[in-house]
Amino acid sequence: MEEMVLILDFGSQYTQLIARRIRELNTYCEIHPYNKIPEIGEHVKAVILSGSPFSVRDENAPQPDLSKIKGKIPLLAICYGAQYLAQSYGGEVIPSTIREYGRANLTYIDKSFPLMKNIPVGSQVWMSHGDTIASLPDDFEIICSTEDVKVAGYHIKGEQTYGIQFHPEVYHSTDGKTLLKNFIVSIAGLSQNWTPQSFVEQTVGELKEKLGNDKVVLGLSGGVDSSVAAMLLHKAIGKNLYCIFVDNGLLRKNEFEEVLENYKGLGLNVKGVDAKQDFYKALEGITDPEAKRKAIGKVFIDTFDKEAHRIEDVKWLAQGTIYPDVIESVSVTGGPSATIKSHHNVGGLPDFMKLKIVEPLRALFKDEVRRVGRSMEMPQELLGRHPFPGPGLGIRILGDITPEKVRILQEVDYIFIQGLKDAGLYDKVWQAGAILLPVQSVGVMGDERTYEKAVALRAVSSTDGMTADWSHLPYEFLAKVSNDIINKVKGINRVTYDISSKPPATIEWE
């Protein structure tokens, strides 16, 4: 098995960031809930305890069983984890007299400890806790302090166990990556050999062994995840992979034809299915966003099922599931967070399909998926595509869906996206699109009064879609795009720009 770092999650908002920083150091890691610790085999070379929204003084605070970990393999406890160890072994944790949130600086560092190697006095760290360690057990020793927190970090004598009260995983801890590297390389001895190339070699080998000569069906979306999953499977089983690309009538302008051409250029076995009219019929008169998503999901599943049944002896369904989906499904609370909006391809295929599931990307974050794709020399047009919602333009048309509204929005969206590309802005934006609003406004064209539709343009910067800020596009660019849309798209006389962040808004409007 792959050598790895095990991250035990106590529900911290930063837990995924810990994993991302470890992965950036070319080291494989997995997140597991503190109350579902997997078997600690020889492949687990180190363990990290995350922070938590709980206080260790709470009656229902998490209390993991660390008997097979502490003192046996290198252990780094962060924030709640550090306070938990200190309290559990005879120290005292009390409410902070000065609640330390945000930036702080290390005023004392004992550089004789390998965890603190190459970290200078004055290094900025990020604090986020309401408790503090007032006293340590006898065999604990302080390794660093801030002006307000004497025990900012400690080491347990005779063990490779460390605790820190700050968060090295966040951007604002300027030497956080150095500290994590000290832990996983200098202390735990991991080899940093987990690279995109090694992932491809290992995954393709595992897929060959698992699938043999079986046939696999995969629903392509044109997006990064399904495309990279398809290429990994193609390398493993070749023509035994059957890809289905459904045109739901809610794609971007010319997208169906262009994406099919891209896939054929990669040598994939792809069938394009024109199901536009089925989707339009199912959506007729529906205005509620959740009802639209469910209608689109049902028709997609029915269409996919019908096409899959035309392939004889299919045994596997491939999916582009990525690691954030996996983490959420096994969260500390035992299930996904509150539903903000349902996803069109989540909820499973009909029981009668009875296919086994294969998910080649379930260990990867989104940015890692792209790096794996680049290592397989996939075209940048596919890998660099902005995320696009599964229900497509169906949730960017507020209100009911008609073919005419789709046509209008496709034209608007094309001008906006092509404009970003022409201006060299496309790759500086994480996601962009246009929204057709269910309002009409008065305008003037050629001395005549108009009463036509309005659109909103949306462009955001983000790393993972969990949070996002609106992109500060140049005024000159927005002015040109607005002018082009109003002059070239019949039915539109007003263009607005959405400057909401996520949270409190979402990236999509529905």
User: Active-site residues: which are they?
Assistant: 79, 167, 169
The DSSP symbol for 217 reads E
* Local structure of 478: helix, strand or coil: helix
Q: And the tokens for 84?
A: 């938990």
Q: Are 321 and 327 in contact (CB under 8 A)?
A: no
Q: Rounded to an integer, what distance in angstroms lies between the CA atom of residue 30 and that of residue 9?
A: 10
* Local structure of 437: helix, strand or coil: strand
Q: And the tokens for 372?
A: 């794996």
Taken in order 126, 131, 134, 139, the sign of the CA dihedral is: negative
Residue 358, strand partner residues: 318
3-state secondary structure 13-71: CCHHHHHHHHHHCCCCEEEEECCCCCCCCCCEEEEEECCCCCCCCCCCCCCCCCCCCCC
Q: Rounded to an integer, what distance in angstroms lies between the CA atom of residue 14 and that of residue 77?
A: 13
Strands in 29-33's sheet, in edge-to-edge order, are 29-33, 4-9, 44-49, 75-78, 161-164, 153-156, 140-146, 92-109, 124-135
* Local structure of 309: helix, strand or coil: coil
For residue 369, which of 228, 484, 212 has the smallest C-alpha distance? 228
What is the Rg, in whole angstroms, of the alpha carbon atoms belonging to the chain?
A: 26
Q: Whose structure tokens read 């299915």? A: 273
DSSP, residue by residue, 360-410: TTTT--HHHHHHHHHHTT--HHHHTPPP--TTGGGGTB-S---HHHHHHHH
Q: Rounded to an integer, what distance in angstroms lies between the CA atom of residue 242 and that of residue 226?
A: 13
For residue 131, which of 149, 106, 155 has the smallest C-alpha distance? 149
Taken in order 495, 499, 501, 504, the sign of the CA dihedral is: negative
DSSP, residue by residue, 70-139: TTTS-EEEETHHHHHHHHHTT-EEEEEEEEEEEEEEEEEE-TTSGGGTT--TT-EEEEEEEEEEEE--TT
Q: Rounded to an integer, what distance in angstroms lies between the CA atom of residue 454 and that of residue 464?
A: 29
What are residue 311's phi and psi, to 5 degrees?
Answer: -100, 125
What are residue 289's phi and psi, to 5 degrees?
Answer: -60, -45
